[in-house]
Amino acid sequence: MRLRLFAAAASVLMLTGCATLPEGAVDASPLVCPPGTEGCDPIQPVGPGGTIAMDMGNFFFDVTDASAVTGAVEVTVVNVSDAYHNAQFLGAADGSDIPEADGNQTGVGTVLLFPGEWTVICTVPGHRAAGMETVITVYATPEEARAAGEASGAPSGM
Ligand SMILES: [Cu+2]
């Protein structure tokens, strides 16, 4: 038993021992891209976009229209409660809005989204934990969005 432990420890040492840095790597620093420099602009989704609409309240999101295709997506949030709420798409591309609305108001924001499944939360402390989290799918093409809408029987809005 003692011998086996020693062997395991030795192999860990050997593994870490192999991770020697190449000469000069210690002095290397991350590439800095001055904004606006060619080839250094943030990667943005390209596509027709589309719309997402959802009700939000204490403490839920209820998605009423999700026919979004990658690109600049117009997100409408209808606040059906008395309190402020918002809808942040976690990981959305640089330049995205966080759609928000005061109590009993409607807000609109543009969110830049790649295809995929997006987690949406309310950023007011405690609201996500209380239930304000949902997942919305953004499709790669209008055809894909339409097919998904037909498959689910939900109106695609397109
Ligand atoms: Cu909220």
pLDDT tens, position by position, 21-75? 667 666 666 667 776 777 777 789 999 999 999 999 999 999 998 889 999 999 9
Query: Would you place residue 157 in the very low, low, confident or very high pLDDT band (cuts 50, 70, 90)?
Result: very low
In 7-105, the DSSP E strands lie at: 50-57, 60-66, 71-79, 85-86, 88-89, 100-101
Q: Which residue has the higher pLDDT, 37 or 11?
A: 37
Least confident of 15-29, 75-89, 97-111: 15-29
Q: How many domains does the chain have?
A: 1
Say how many Å lie between the CA of residue 13 and the centre of ligand 1. Answer: 49
Determine, yes or no, domain membership for 57. Answer: yes
Mean pLDDT, range 13-23, rounded to an integer: 56
Return all residues near 114 (Cβ < 8 A) that are at least 6 apart.
45, 70, 93, 138
Determine, yes or no, domain membership for 28. Answer: no
Integer Cα distance of 36 and 81 in angstroms: 42
Determine, yes or no, domain membership for 31. Answer: no
Query: Would you place residue 103 in the very low, low, confident or very high pLDDT band (cuts 50, 70, 90)?
Result: very high
Model pLDDT, residue 26: 64
Determine, yes or no, domain membership for 103. Answer: yes
The model's pLDDT over 112-153, given as tens digits with 9 standing for 90+, comes to: 999 999 999 999 999 999 999 999 999 999 999 888 888 876
Say how many Å lie between the CA of residue 23 and the centre of ligand 1. Answer: 51
Determine, yes or no, domain membership for 96. Answer: yes
| pTM, full prediction | 0.72
Determine, yes or no, domain membership for 38. Answer: no
Determine, yes or no, domain membership for 24. Answer: no
CATH code of the domain containing 58: 2.60.40.420
Determine, yes or no, domain membership for 19. Answer: no
Say how many Å lie between the CA of residue 58 and the centre of ligand 1. Answer: 7
> What domain range includes position 110?
50-152
- Give yes or no for a contact between 113 and 70, defined as CB atoms under 8 angstroms apart: yes
Say how many Å lie between the CA of residue 82 and the centre of ligand 1. Answer: 11
